[in-house]
Amino acid sequence: MTSNPYPLGLRLHGRRVVVVGGGAVATRRVPALLDAGADVLLVAPELTPALRARADAGRLHWVPRRFVPEDLDGAWLVQVAIDDPIAAASVSAVAAERRIFCVRADDRTAATAWTPAVTRHGPVTVAVLGGGDPRRAMTVRDAIRDLLAVRLAPDAIAGRPDASTGTTGGRQAGRVALVGAGPGDPELITVKGWRLLTEADVVVADRLVPGLLLDELRPDVELVDASKIPYGPSRAQEEINQILVDRALAGAFVVRLKGGDPYVFGRGGEELLACAAAGVPVTVVPGVTSSIAAPAAAGIPVTHRGVAHEFTVVSGHLAPDAPASLVRWDALAGLHGTLVILMGLKNLAAITATLIAHGRSPQTPAAVVQEATTGTQRVLRSTLGEVAADLCAADLRPPAVVVVGDVVGALDG
Ligand SMILES: C[S@@+](CC[C@H](N)C(=O)[O-])C[C@H]1O[C@@H](n2cnc3c(N)ncnc32)[C@H](O)[C@@H]1O
């Protein structure tokens, strides 16, 4: 009869864990051990490039040879990550002699410990054992992960303030997260950004954040629309800063959800400074910026070997001759690489004329990508000399990114 396993959370910080084997299995197992702070000794004649990089970076100790029993001196745990059953059995025999738990990739029935399928949500770790069937464990883990991420009591995960004691059960009360929502496709938010969004009490969102992300919010979340419509009326940044600070000081967890990346023409820096001045802790979660994602979504890599060794992201919201402009368009005209212009449609005729006047060829390929990564994405391909006129004819509108450079045609067959 097989007994049930006894679940434990091992606290491995600073404790020796021996991994025998340097192939694909070890490559998958080692990162979680390092994340737990384990003192990893890797015993293997050869390593995968990923493990080699960690060894070179000093994150683990590598002994480039086969296993000998002394390798287990001082070990708390051993992971056998080799295919050879005879060699694996000899490692686990030494481990058993020394009363060291042994995980075996080659034979779970011979192992004294099993690694669970894991999903992590902030401070919460869920570990699933599938009765010896790793695929069953992963299926259950995935279902739990989806529930935790989307619907199930994010308050319970994060630790909601206890009304009677005012404590937070591990969660910090009164804080702000500046979260990049990505360029438009709701699946392009980061895992961390999504998790924080599910934990928020208040969400302050820009117009350009994917609407579907907001659809998923709990009904009790306060949603503040901080729309900043291009060329239209905009809510003062100071007012947005004040909302972030006021809500956080009142004890709320505020997610400031911004299109793309918060620090790419997103005024995230100003919001961070305002929170810092008020003593509100801030987390910044980078996002996938439209300056790279929009070209990519149109099949344009911003760099390409032999074509462009640099890309420059620039705001076109001010005309080149505007006194307040900080952009050296004359210098940009002298570059060979890729130019990505955000917020540039209104001034595109003046911008392209300036670039051409300072030496960039009018034949340089150019493209405009509107509403990139969404179901309504539109792409216009043209040249630097023609793109402003083509844009009007095609009636493209913001939000759109303009890409200038030979990369525009680099992947065309
Ligand atoms: C205020 S900036 C914010 C940029 C954002 N923080 C980022 O990293 O993508 C707004 C501009 O980003 C560009 N943009 C944002 N989302 C876009 C999308 N889905 N497609 C094309 N351009 C987009 C447009 O140029 C738009 O006018």
**pLDDT for residue 359:** 97
- Answer with the one of 285, 307, 325 that is the final residue of a domain: 285
Residue 31 CB–ligand 1 contact under 6 Å: no
124 and 110, same structural domain?
A: no
- Ranking 131-145, 162-176, 251-265 by mean pLDDT, the lowest is 162-176
159 found inside a domain: no
Which stretches of 202-343 are assigned E, i.e. beta strand? 202-205, 222-225, 253-258, 282-285, 311-315, 338-342
pLDDT surpassing 80 at residue 158: no
125-133 long-range CB contacts below 8 Å, 24 or more apart? 125/9, 127/7, 127/9, 129/5, 129/7, 132/2, 132/108
Q: What is the pLDDT of residues 182-191, one digit of tens each?
A: 999 999 999 9
More confident residue, 274 or 231: 274
Q: Answer whether residue 201 shows pLDDT above 90.
A: yes
Q: Which of 226, 254, 285 is the last residue of a domain?
A: 285
pLDDT digits (tens, 9 = 90+) for 6-16: 999 999 999 99
pLDDT digits (tens, 9 = 90+) for 346-359: 999 999 999 999 99
Q: Taking 50 as the threshold, does the pLDDT of residue 154 lie above it?
A: no
Residue 325: DSSP 8-state: -
Closest Cα partner for 401 from 307, 305, 304, 300? 300
Q: What is the pLDDT of residues 55-101, one digit of tens each?
A: 998 999 999 999 999 999 999 999 999 999 999 999 999 999 999 99
Q: CB of 238 within 8 A of CB of 207?
A: no
pLDDT at 171: 45
Sheet holding 253-258, edge to edge: 222-225, 202-205, 253-258, 175-180, 282-285
Ligand 1 atom at minimal distance to the Cα of residue 374: 19
**What CATH number is attached to the domain comprising 372?**
3.30.950.10
Which of 41-45, 228-232, 326-330 is predicted least confidently? 228-232
Most confident range (mean pLDDT) of 42-56, 204-218, 232-246 is 42-56
Cβ count near 236 (within 10 Å): 9
Contact in structure between 185 and 373 (CB atoms under 8 Å): yes
pLDDT at 167: 35
Domain-embedded: residue 155: no
213 band by pLDDT with thresholds 50, 70 and 90: confident
CATH number at residue 210: 3.40.1010.10
CB-ligand 1 contact for 208 (6 Å cutoff): yes
Q: What is the whole-number distance in angstroms between the Cα of residue 296 and the centre of ligand 1?
A: 14
Q: Are residues 76 and 56 in the same domain?
A: yes
367 domain residue, yes or no: yes
368 and 342 fall within a common domain: yes
What is the Cβ-side half-sphere exposure of residue 73, based on CA atoms within 13 angstroms? 3
* 243 & 219 share domain: yes
Is residue 403 a contact partner of residue 339, using CB atoms and an 8 Å limit?
Answer: yes
Residues 252 and 344 in one domain: no
- Residue 51's identity, in one-letter code, is L
- Is residue 18 a contact partner of residue 39, using CB atoms and an 8 Å limit? no
Q: Is the beta carbon of 111 within 6 A of some atom in ligand 1?
A: no
**Is 10 within a domain?**
no
Residue 255 has pLDDT above 50, yes or no: yes
Query: Any idea which residue has 């054992």 for tokens?
Result: 129
- Are 32 and 85 contained in the same domain? yes
Q: Residue 33 is encoded by which pair of tokens?
A: 């051990």
For ligand 1, pick from 231, 342, 370 the residue to mutate: most ligand atoms within 8 Å of CB: 342
- pLDDT the model gives residue 233: 45
Cβ contacts of 298 within 8 Å, gap of 6 or more = 367, 369, 372, 377, 379, 403
Residue 343's domain spans which residues? Answer: 291-409
Asked if 342 and 385 sit in the same domain, the reply is yes
* 208 and 303 co-located in one domain: no
275 CA → ligand 1 middle, Å: 24
Q: What is the CATH number of the domain that holds 73?
A: 3.40.50.720
Token look-up 């420059």 returns 312
The answer on 302 and 244 residing in a single domain is no
Which of 27-41, 138-152, 235-249, 359-373 is the least confident region?
Answer: 138-152
- Rounded CA-CA distance 166/162 in Å is 5
The structure's pTM equals 0.76
Ligand 1, residue 184: give the atom nearest the CA.
19
Q: What distance, in Å, lies between the first and last C-alpha atoms of the chain? A: 63
Q: 3 in a domain, yes or no?
A: no
- What is the 400 CA–ligand 1 centroid distance (Å)? 7
Instruction: Choose one of 254, 285, 316: the last residue of a domain.
Output: 285
Q: What is the pLDDT of residue 146?
A: 78
Q: Mean of the per-residue pLDDT values for the chain?
A: 89
Q: Note whether 130 and 108 are same-domain residues.
A: no
Say if 241 falls within a structural domain. yes
Does the pLDDT of residue 153 top 50, yes or no? no
Would you say residue 361 has pLDDT above 90?
yes
Identify whether 171 is part of a domain.
no
Judgement on whether residues 106 and 209 belong to the same structural domain of the protein: no
Give strand ranges (E) for 332-399: 338-342, 365-370, 378-383
- Number of domains, the chain: 4
CB contact at 8 A, 362 and 383: yes
User: Is the pLDDT higher at 158 or at 387?
Assistant: 387
Q: Which of 23-37, 293-307, 393-407 has the lowest mean pLDDT?
A: 23-37
Binned at pLDDT 50, 70 and 90, residue 155 comes out as very low
**371 C-beta closer than 6 A to ligand 1:** yes
Q: Do 110 and 126 belong together in one domain?
A: no
> Going by C-beta distance under 8 Å and a sequence separation of 6 or more, which residues neighbour residue 105?
21, 25, 29, 79, 80, 81, 82, 83, 88
Annotated catalytic sites, by residue?
A: 206, 228
Domain presence at residue 264: yes
